A = this chain, B = another copy of it.
């Protein structure tokens, strides 16, 4: 097993700000830090593939708080925590009512006496999820400084209203491996496109996370959606700035075919519009159930106007060589399989099933890398320690 390249790579990166820090938005992280996450993720996978334990904790808790249903992110978080030696303790809202303000501060401290990591998914309401995470982060930071907590638990954003960093980073690492290195992505075109789904209200954090991250690699990132499905303006600005800096481009279109034209990668996926989600957040705040139901109906009708936004075989033919890499965060709404009409044709999905599954397989390692970099003062040295220790994960 050759860990040398990963260790050497890490040694060239400035990572001091990651130690004891959170991972909330990719665009708050430097290029070095983003690269470090990819490097550590690959290194941890190599350790595990070689049956070398990556446990840096003999005991400790990873607290998970999911405010939205989740299978893959839940298992990715559990896997990552377990890989590093932490036990997961769910903070189940059904069991333990959480609100805002004083309660957030208090609960954050109460669950953190022996917590090394806190993972939060809170993606339902615009302006809420990321704000909540920062409240929690502030609370545990204060608790740590006051001597209430003996360690400062690290926050990992498992999806908020703004970004979905563990998803976009997993997507990106998949792409990097697929194209044989980040250096080969320069000038490649990716279409981050809206697609029709018979459900409504899917979070915006995936497209926002993708344009906010993938514009950093010199790619031509094209965001496509029907009128009325705009994403948050702030994330558009981030994408534009990133593209300018990285030597790539960031464009927007209301034409799916235009986005797919000559694309090397396509990411067709449904989401709700920012405006609609804001409206819903207000209705929710007012406890206006009738209003929410009416909005839901209206949004489904709006969606239904755009059934032609689907990743069909014909649409795929427009892409570079007709075989762009198809990406999705899963589960996809597959026409004739999981729904009548949906985001993608079954034949397209089937062709790409294996890479799609592999794409998802990066997430546990990405999360583990985020934890690792926040918990190891000298990550390069720690990788060396683990490799040299050579403790078997599994006595096969």
Contacts and interface: CB of A to CB of B under 8 A. Distances in A.
A60 B76 CA distance: 12
A76 B89 CA distance: 11
A116 B359 CA distance: 20
Given A71-B111, A85-B59, A110-B360, A395 B385 contact: yes
A36 B347 CA distance: 45
Interface residues of A, number: 75
Contacts of A114: 48, 79, 82-83, 364
Contact of A393 (B58, B75, B106, B338): B58
B79 A61 contact: yes
A382 interface: yes
A113 B361 contact: yes
A59 B71 contact: no
Contacts of A61: 75, 78-79, 82
A59 B83 contact: yes
B96 A70 contact: yes
B75 A82 contact: no
Given A49-B150, A106-B330, 20 more contacts: A53-B59, A58-B393, A59-B393, A60-B82, A60-B393, A60-B394, A63-B75, A70-B95, A71-B111, A72-B111, A74-B89, A74-B95, A75-B113, A78-B87, A88-B89, A101-B337, A109-B357, A146-B354, A149-B361, A375-B394
Interface of A: 45, 48-49, 53-61, 63, 66, 69-72, 74-76, 78-79, 82-83, 85, 87-89, 91, 95-97, 101-103, 106-107, 109-111, 113-116, 143, 146-151, 330-331, 334, 337-338, 354, 357-358, 360-361, 363-364, 375-377, 382, 385, 391-396
Kindly list the 3 A-B residue pairs having the minimum CB-CB distance in the complex, ordered from nearest.
A79-B114, A71-B96, A148-B357
